[in-house]
Amino acid sequence: MARLDGKVALITGGARGIGEAHVRRFAAEGARVVFGDLLEDRGAAVSAATGAVFVPMDVTREDDWERAVATAVDRFGTLNVLVNNAGILRHRLLTDMTREQLQQVLDVNLVGPWLGMRAVVEPMKAAGGGSIVNTSSIEGYAAAAGLSAYAASKFGVRGITKAGAQELGRFGIRVNSIHPGGIATELALDPEVAQGVEVDADAFFKALPIPRWGEPDDVAGAAVYLASDESAYCTGTEILVDGGLLSGPGY
């Protein structure tokens, strides 16, 4: 029996990177998957490869959330899992970032997951419970130069996760968070993302206890655990997927 047999999952940002790994892994573990993204061509390709249902989706729009949730319930009859994965990354020093850029990061990375949590409460209550998996970051624990907006959003995700765990536990809905470190995705490796900030990535990763970039599937494994009944007594939990980065200073 696969670990997610019988589960219906909604995953955001599923057309590439970590989100695509979630879609592929959840489908392989037996879940029926609906996923959203702004990248329609790539979403269609992932759908064709996995059998998952793709819906065009902007996580900052409430009507897009309503449509995605309705698609899952109408197609599969229920909704058991939400993975709030969609996010954006902008490296900008405080003095170089505009208020509009700050607001965009907060809207996608923090407001989007909050809207998603709210949107799935009623269908999960109807299902007798569920699991919400929010994607934060190591930047939700310790911020870095050039990531003030991103860190603010990811610290915020920790907060809404804890509050959601407190509010929704009585309905059988668990709310947990994943905190990836340096994961080798197109977004993380895009030189345009890191404007104004110099980082020696090779030296950085060589200093980790697990001295390599993380892979998207490393994060997907943690999401499968939190979505499955194996984590039935976990809520408000934070899982680091960071190669040991936050375990202590390197030598």
> Regarding beta strands 53-56 and 32-37, do their DSSP bridges make them parallel or antiparallel, or are they unpaired?
parallel
Choose the catalytic residue: 141, 150, 225, 251: 150
Q: What angle do CA 122, 124, 127 make, to 5 degrees?
A: 115
Is residue 233 annotated as part of the catalytic site, yes or no?
no
**CA atoms of 99 and 104, how far apart (whole Å):** 9
Q: What angle do CA 13, 54, 49 make, to 5 degrees?
A: 95
Half-sphere exposure of 89 (CA within 13 A, CB side): 24
Q: Which of 111, 122, 131 is nearest to 9 (CA)?
A: 131
Residue 69: strand, helix, or coil: helix
Residues noted as catalytic: 150
